[in-house]
Structure 1
């Protein structure tokens, strides 16, 4: 199946789970070995909460406030600076291999989701977590606070891809080595 078709089917499945208010988290992962999709090179997580006004993507951990006094002009400036930092980081990270694959895993709110529910384009999974290929690095790239939410950019990638990173791009406090296994734990802080 072509990648675009696969992603389109995944998006339709996510939409189905969002409409039914079952979807808790989407994990999009990059891997290189088609025989071992649980061993990944990069990972992106998107968490969802539901309100009377519809689903919300959760950009912050449960222990932090959504309040902010930042003006819209300051928010715009901070967002532009964060985008520039991401751009510089992407130019300095080593390249991913040419033959990468994508996988998407969905996690649900167990208390409201029927046990046999699977959205269109998905099948029942047997994986509780994923393991990073090589030695992972956890990067706190930056954050932008707005009156409505805090948007944080965090990247987990292989340490080998960090070889060309200039120390002026990320300070030492922004770089951590995470646990080798990413757990499915509902209470893990962002």
Structure 2
């Protein structure tokens, strides 16, 4: 049984498909006996993935900085909620707890978390798999940009291939845990 870290938005976004994908992912993680670790909020996609995992009997670990506890509205029904002093501690704890990472749609913080883990993987600081759930083509532009970086000699092919990308939660989970 693996612990999967999910990065995602603290809002629902514009399309219902984003929330639906978060719910399906949370449910799948719980049904397959995996633990979810995430940012600890109860709003948006963060809340959706956590609530779905909890409703399916899953174990859910949240990590939230004290300063964001009210802004992101910390989820109080989790298996465990870890309060930390800052974002650096949050990201480090989530990374330490995780066996793999999944990124759902989200904002700037979500991208920052994704790219930090990709950079650490590229540098050999961890060997954990990283997946991108490209719901409704949300990350098409980002994937095109990474391809452009590769074309222009800034990203090597072997580093671009470190990011596993799928449109369906089930398929992405299979690839991450293979």
TM over 0.5: no
Q: Where is the helix percentage greater, Structure 1 or Structure 2?
A: 2
Q: Which has the larger radius of gyration?
A: 1
TM-score of the superposition, structure 2-length normalised? 0.30
More contact order relative to length (CA 8 Å, sep ≥ 6): 1
Q: Where is the strand percentage greater, Structure 1 or Structure 2?
A: 1
